[in-house]
Amino acid sequence: MEHIRAVVHGVVQGVGFRYHTCQVAQELGVKGFVRNQPDGTVEIVAVGTSDQLKTLLHWANKGPTGARVTQVETEPYTDAADFDGFTIAR
């Protein structure tokens, strides 16, 4: 399993980005969380296979209707947290 952290930039708050990310991640069987950041970005922390994470990131580069993604930064996620499903964090 791979662990990643992605930060999504653009118009990504107030457009259902977290909800739809959670839906896509759950459909893919990815574990982790998504949350809004104070700077207007959305953070995604995800654990899954390489293919699952590629699919999730491909979706995140577009987002739901109404979102305008300008950039997705990714990096390995080094916290060895064990997630139970995929959730929207507050």
Residue 52: CB atoms within 10 Å = 18
**Contacts with 51 (C-beta within 8 Å, 6 or more apart), sequence order:** none
From 18, 35, 61, 90, the catalytic residue: 18
Is 35 a catalytic site residue?
no
Is 90 a catalytic site residue?
no
From 36, 61, 68, 90, the catalytic residue: 36
| Residue 23 backbone dihedrals phi, psi, to 5 degrees | -60, -50
The sheet that has 31-36: what strands, in order across it? 68-76, 2-11, 42-48, 31-36, 86-88
Residue numbers annotated as active site:
18, 36
